[in-house]
């Protein structure tokens, strides 16, 4: 059975590192938006965007959370920027088993940028006074199977964390609400 193609609007946050001044407003608003309840607290560990900083050299690189990677990558390249060496992992957007970045601090579940779903534009873009973050939108044709894969990854992650029985119970309770 061949997957059916459908058009999907893709939102991407474009980062201009030359404009970033390291204020971290993007981290603060993102963590507040994703607090429960919304805007009730600020914990940068909940943010779906992180700032790699070297203030003495005036180097600031925002990196936002990407897809979950179930295994460590083999890449361990080093990058030199203005004389400072950075590990490849520093710029990686994935949440993976080998590091703690982009994981929910309480549950350990992987975080992914959702471009502040439900908002007109991502709040990190809206709050970036230096215009280092901008929103780009485009349409792409995607297979419907891709969405199913994302769902399965999320469910598998929850089952690993809480166990299959608790996951079944939660799904059963949720289905009764409908």
Could you report the per-residue pLDDT of 139-172, keeping only the tens digit for each? 888 776 656 777 788 888 888 888 888 888 888 8
Residue 116 is predicted with a pLDDT of: 92
pLDDT, tens digit, 9 for 90 and up, residues 98-117: 777 888 888 888 899 999 99
Instruction: Reply yes or no on whether the pLDDT at 178 is more than 60.
Output: no
Q: Which of 81, 63, 57 is nearest to 132 (CA)?
A: 63
Domain ranges, ordered by start, for the chain: 8-141, 144-178
Mean pLDDT of 78-86: 78
Contact yes or no for 138/13 (Cβ under 8 A): no
Task: Encode 24-86 in three state secondary structure.
Answer: CHHHHHHHHHCCCCCCCCCCHHHCCEEEEEEHHHCEEEEEECCCECCCCCCCCCEEEECCEEE
**Residue 177 predicted with pLDDT over 70:** no
* Secondary structure of residue 110 in the 3-state scheme: strand
Instruction: Kindly calculate the radius of gyration of the chain based on its CA atoms and give it in whole angstroms.
Output: 18
Q: What's the mean per-residue pLDDT of the chain? A: 84
pLDDT of residue 133: 96
Contacting residues for 40 by C-beta, under 8 A, at least 6 apart: 32
Report the DSSP beta bridge partners of residue 8: 140
Conformation bin of residue 19: beta by default, left when phi > 0, alpha when psi is -120 to 50: alpha
CA atoms of 19 and 12, how far apart (whole Å): 18
What is the rounded distance in angstroms from the CA atom of residue 128 to the CA atom of residue 152? 34
Report the pLDDT value the prediction gives residue 164, as an integer from 0 to 100: 87
Strands 49-54 and 59-64: antiparallel
Q: Is the pTM of this model over 0.85?
A: no
Q: Is 96 helix (H, G, I), strand (E, B) or coil?
A: coil
In b/e form, how buried is each residue of 67-89, taking b as 16+ CB within 10 angstroms? Answer: ebbeeeeeeeeeeeeeeeebeeb
Task: Please state the rounded mean pLDDT for residues 64-78.
Answer: 78
So what's the pLDDT on residue 71?
Answer: 74
Which tens digit of pLDDT belongs to each residue from 37-46?
999 999 999 9
pLDDT value of residue 172 = 83
């Amino acid at each position: 059975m061949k997957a059916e193609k459908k058009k999907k609007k893709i939102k991407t946050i474009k980062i201009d590192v030359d404009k970033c001044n390291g204020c971290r407003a993007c981290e603060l608003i993102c963590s507040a938006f994703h607090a429960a309840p919304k805007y009730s607290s600020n914990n940068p560990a909940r943010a779906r965007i992180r700032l790699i900083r070297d203030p003495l050299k005036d180097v600031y690189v925002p990196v936002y959370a990407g897809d979950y990677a179930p295994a460590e990558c083999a890449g361990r390249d080093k990058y030199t920027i203005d004389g400072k060496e950075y590990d490849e992992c520093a710029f990686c957007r994935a949440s993976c088993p080998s590091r703690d970045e982009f994981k929910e601090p309480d549950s350990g579940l992987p975080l992914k940028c959702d471009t502040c779903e439900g908002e007109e534009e991502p709040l990190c873009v809206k709050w970036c006074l230096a215009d280092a973050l901008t929103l780009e939108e485009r349409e792409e044709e995607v297979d419907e199977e891709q969405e199913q894969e994302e769902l399965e990854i999320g469910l598998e992650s929850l089952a690993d964390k809480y166990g299959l029985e608790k996951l079944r119970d939660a799904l059963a309770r949720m289905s009764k609400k409908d």
